[in-house]
Structure 1
Amino acid sequence: MELLFLAHRVPYPPDRGDKIRSFHLLKHLSARAKVHLVAFTDDDRDLAHRDALTPWTATRTLVPRRKGQARAAIEALATGKPVSLTAFADPAVSAACADILSTHPIDTIFCFSGQMAQYLPARAQRVIMDFVDVDSAKFAGYADDARVPMAWMMRREARLLGAFERAISARADVSLFVSEAEAALFRGGGGKGRVIAIENGIDTVRFDPEAAFESVAAPRPLIAFTGQMDYRPNMEAVRWFAEDILPLIRRTHDATFAIVGRNPDPAVTALVSPHVIVTGEVADVRGWLAAASAVVAPLRLARGVQNKVLEAMAMARPVVASAAAAEGIDHDGTIRTGRDADAIADAVTSLLGNSADAAALGVAARARVIARYGWSARLAPLDALLGLDARRNAA
């Protein structure tokens, strides 16, 4: 079997949410098919990872994404398309896909993220479409909180992208989402064809408090948040926590809040204070997780399974998440949740005040992750989608 894998971001190294999922999908598929990768790069550092992808790919085409958001928006308004598509429209990617399809006997196209679905050909290869989240619903949520004219742009994006998502689902053999909640949302919004959930997993060998990693000298008690810090939901989450929740916690605990992640937006760096640390990119997030007395995920807008939560659970840290961030995770009560600032603050305060309870919660969280979220178990349903079960039976 030969497979074309399309990704809106090069799936290596697996150091952020979307790249973690795409990398493990690529790794799983490469053990079952000859994989040809076509992906965008965000910067020159991504190009340096071309050789690192060799164990999992037969060919690798990496295309730098140079188009700015302003140009993508102008193109979208001129063509009647969603910005999500024009931002990733590139003739070099179209040419690369056409070349691979014409020179290799591609059985299946695995398309990771809706932005790449514009490159699906009219030919009849099997198509597995991994939307991950319902992106159109995300933009609808943005519109609710935005002002004119941005609210108009967000509603336009939600409408046009939603129509595109539904059209692609009718073309695909199967549409994947990161959680059953996202899959149900898509079905309820008019998604076509077969729609199923393939959940995220976690590497519990790497994310293990007993693994070898560099420790971090940090003030205690420390409350940590991890994530890509130019991503709007993460930016809004840390601002809410720093401005509305941390002051409530500091009434009883002299706690420091660490915001750990690459590319912090100016709105994030503006939060720096004697009690708020913004690290920027770190070589290894595990040291910060291990140093944390509690890890928080106070996202108001969250889609699917949050890798940041799974990583903290695997590191046996006590986690406090918003109801939205916890929704996609089958945690079985091994994390604390809150629906508003007071509830989240109370949960964190309780953990900081009782180290034995916090440690026990962390141990239970790690056990839950090991039992429920191993990558091999999460991705096993892909074999049937690829037709491998039928081939094995025939053999």
Structure 2
Amino acid sequence: MAERPRLLFVSPRFLFPMDQGGKIRTGNILRHLRGGAFHVTLASPAPADAARHRTEIEAACDRFVSWPEAAPSRLRRVLALGSALPVAAATDRSAEGRACVARLVQDRPEVVVADFPHADVLMPPVPGDRPSTPPGPGDPPGAAARSGPARVMFTHNVEAEIFERHAARARVWWRFIWAEQHRKMRRFEQAALRRYDTVIAVSTRDASVLRTRYDLPHVAEIDTGVDLDFFAPAPPGSPPDPDGGTLVFVATMSWAANVEGIHFLLDEVWPRLLQRRPRLRAVIIGRNPPASLSDKVRARGLAVELTGFVDDIRPHVARADVYVIPLWVGSGTRIKAFEAMAMGRPVVSTSLGIEGLDVTDGEHFLRADSAEAFADAILSLLDDPTRGARIASAARALMEERFSWARVARQFEAICLQALARRSGG
């Protein structure tokens, strides 16, 4: 049997546990690429206790190569504000990581995939390109020449767009910081993406924006996926009490947009809901909720549970009468929407929260883009559980039909094979 082409997948962060959107997307795609058309080497930083994730690592790749993970540091991020690079790229720089990737490229894999644009700071320079970051001491001359591997960039977002949207909503001082990060990221993202033969986007909408904004010749797209077995439909519960009900939101609390969305829910939507349903409660799931949220919940005596980190979100989501996504800033797609839909929970979301996902308002979810509309949509589902069940059932059926991770991984694999064929002149 012919030897499979080798694919080197470079991630700027350790993927396990898969507890954030980008890690969930990448980890599941890798799991379903394993054993397919490519022999996959995953390269990433790794913490000292990486061995406890051995089973997950082995399920995601044929070979794992790592360098020491830098301890997260707020000071490092603050100092990175003075860099010419955006903070995300500046804090992912690693001399050890760059040298490790350079050695792996010297092994001449047929395809190299960078996970997120800021992974480009770990890549060897390509002669004739404008590098997005200066060459490092471990970079061998000509290690990634144009006659070398097919180069694929996997973008989970339009990165510059996130900062642009933050700047549009921020107050004066923060507006300046977000605007400056937008300027740096737009310049970095353009330079980085143009160094790759193919760019993979996570939606038709993102593909169009990237193609137009950065004048990229080869932008392909994949769907967002969901683990249909893990997020199996939850058994239907009892209808909510006439004056109660439970809302659920899953949020990575280290992301400012999630925290802003929760404040919007508590400040602008919650009072409207309590007028009709005074015993309503909410469960907000996510590691390390900031003091601004916990203090607000405590001071106002709100029936809102901030769980912190949980090993398994499913029991909480299963108890939701309505799953909410109150987001105003972001890019890419929100995997959390598909997870809730796969579990058969009716979803209320802003347009941004559902952006890029091929679902229909009124059929698979309810769209709401103001505090009044958000409250009205939630109340309509609480008041009419039959309607909520119908929307949830339609959404689950769509997940089963189109959005398994196995199907998404085959899309990703096909794009990498096409990039290899173009590089080989096929």
With normalisation by structure 2, the TM-score equals: 0.83
Structure 2 residue 203 is the aligned partner of structure 1 residue 179: yes
Structure 2 residue 361 is the aligned partner of structure 1 residue 353: no
Aligned mates of 2:326, 2:80 — CA distance in 1: 35
Structure 1 residues 137 and 389, CA gap change in structure 2 (3 angstroms)? closer
- The alignment-based identity, stated in percent, is 26
1:37 matched residue in structure 2: 42
Report the 3-state secondary structure (helix = DSSP H, G, I; strand = E; otherwise coil) of the residue aligned with 2:387: helix
2:105 matched residue in structure 1: 101
The structure, 1 or 2, with the larger RCO (C-alpha pairs under 8 Å, 6+ apart) is 2
1:146 matched residue in structure 2: 170
Q: Residue 302 of structure 1 is aligned with which of 325, 330, 334?
A: 330
1:57 matched residue in structure 2: 62
Structure 1 residues 110 and 377, CA gap change in structure 2 (3 angstroms)? same
Structure 2 residue 398 is the aligned partner of structure 1 residue 368: yes
1:287 matched residue in structure 2: 315
- Deviations 1:307-361 (CA, angstroms, capped at 9, x unpaired): 1110110000111001111221111321011010100100100111112212222
Contact 1:316–1:363 (8 Å) recurs in 2: yes
- Deviations 1:15-66 (CA, angstroms, capped at 9, x unpaired): 321111110222233323222222235x666563245312323123153122
Aligned mates of 1:375, 1:198 — CA distance in 2: 11
Partner AA of 1:344 in structure 2: F
Q: Residue 196 of structure 1 is aligned with which of 200, 220, 224?
A: 220
CA RMSD between the two structures:
2.3
Partner AA of 1:270 in structure 2: D
Structure 2 residue 277 is the aligned partner of structure 1 residue 249: no
Structure 1 residues 354 and 277, CA gap change in structure 2 (3 angstroms)? same
Compute the displacement of 1:76 (Å). Answer: 5.1
Q: Which runs of 5+ in 1 are unaligned?
A: 212-218
Structure 2 residue 294 is the aligned partner of structure 1 residue 264: no
Compute the displacement of 1:74 (Å). Answer: 2.8
Q: Which moved more, 1:162-171 or 1:219-228?
A: 219-228
- Deviations 1:286-314 (CA, angstroms, capped at 9, x unpaired): 11111011100010113222111101100
Aligned mates of 2:402, 2:33 — CA distance in 1: 21
- Deviations 1:231-264 (CA, angstroms, capped at 9, x unpaired): 1111111111011101111111121011012222
Report the 3-state secondary structure (helix = DSSP H, G, I; strand = E; otherwise coil) of the residue aligned with 1:24: helix
Partner AA of 2:113 in structure 1: F
Partner AA of 1:129 in structure 2: M
Report the 3-state secondary structure (helix = DSSP H, G, I; strand = E; otherwise coil) of the residue aligned with 1:189: helix
Report the 3-state secondary structure (helix = DSSP H, G, I; strand = E; otherwise coil) of the residue aligned with 1:171: coil
2:365 matched residue in structure 1: 335
Partner AA of 1:205 in structure 2: D
Aligned mates of 1:53, 1:112 — CA distance in 2: 16
Structure 2 residue 161 is the aligned partner of structure 1 residue 137: yes
1:222 matched residue in structure 2: 246
Structure 2 residue 21 is the aligned partner of structure 1 residue 17: yes
Q: Which runs of 5+ in 2 are unaligned?
A: 127-143, 236-242, 422-426
Structure 1 residues 148 and 220, CA gap change in structure 2 (3 angstroms)? closer
1:319 matched residue in structure 2: 347
Aligned mates of 1:287, 1:12 — CA distance in 2: 21
Report the 3-state secondary structure (helix = DSSP H, G, I; strand = E; otherwise coil) of the residue aligned with 2:226: coil
Query: How many residue pairs are counted as aligned between the two chains?
Result: 381
Structure 1 residues 277 and 322, CA gap change in structure 2 (3 angstroms)? same
1:117 matched residue in structure 2: 120
Aligned mates of 2:192, 2:288 — CA distance in 1: 32
Structure 1 residues 95 and 383, CA gap change in structure 2 (3 angstroms)? same
Contact 2:257–2:330 (8 Å) recurs in 1: yes
Q: Residue 303 of structure 2 is aligned with which of 272, 275, 278?
A: 275
Aligned mates of 2:249, 2:314 — CA distance in 1: 12
Partner AA of 2:345 in structure 1: R
Report the 3-state secondary structure (helix = DSSP H, G, I; strand = E; otherwise coil) of the residue aligned with 2:194: helix
Report the 3-state secondary structure (helix = DSSP H, G, I; strand = E; otherwise coil) of the residue aligned with 1:295: strand
